[in-house]
Amino acid sequence: MLMEDTAEGDCLVVSLMEERLDAVIAASFKDALLERINQGQRHIVLDMAHVGFMDSSGLGAVVSILKHLGTKGWLHLYGVTPGVMAVLKLTRMDRVFKTFDSRQAALVS
């Protein structure tokens, strides 16, 4: 699984460099983000621009990350592709996650 981290002030931008966030990588993706949270990261921007496909395992991992942050921080998504947005809307999780069109908007909001 390929990911890139970029620190932006007190925010961490995590770019997932995978076409599919699915059952194959969901567990390792979740573990990687939880490790960052446990290391003290509280404001995370998840760059989904490379992810064209997400299944319920991938969605569950993103939900788990959001729950782990709880009231201590926030998780913003940006670059959500149409395929991923379709799953978010179908599951009504588009009402849960804050999504942004640009990295800058996701960082400052």
From the list 5-13, 15-23, 38-46, 100-108, the region that binds other proteins by CB under 8 A is 15-23
From the list 3-11, 35-43, 56-64, 99-107, the region that binds other proteins by CB under 8 A is 56-64
Among positions 1, 3, 24, 34, the unique one binding other proteins when judged by CB under 8 A: 24
Please give the backbone phi and psi of residue 25, each rounded to the nearest 5 degrees, phi first.
-115, -5
Among positions 23, 104, 108, 109, the unique one binding other proteins when judged by CB under 8 A: 23
Binders of other proteins in range 79-108 (CB under 8 A) = 82-83, 86-87, 90-92, 95-96
Compute the distance between CA of residue 105 and CA of residue 99 in angstroms, rounded to an integer.
9
Quick one: 40 or 82, whose CB is closer to other proteins? Answer: 82
Could you list the residues that contact other proteins (CB under 8 A)? 20, 22-24, 52-57, 59-61, 63-64, 66-67, 70, 82-83, 86-87, 90-92, 95-96
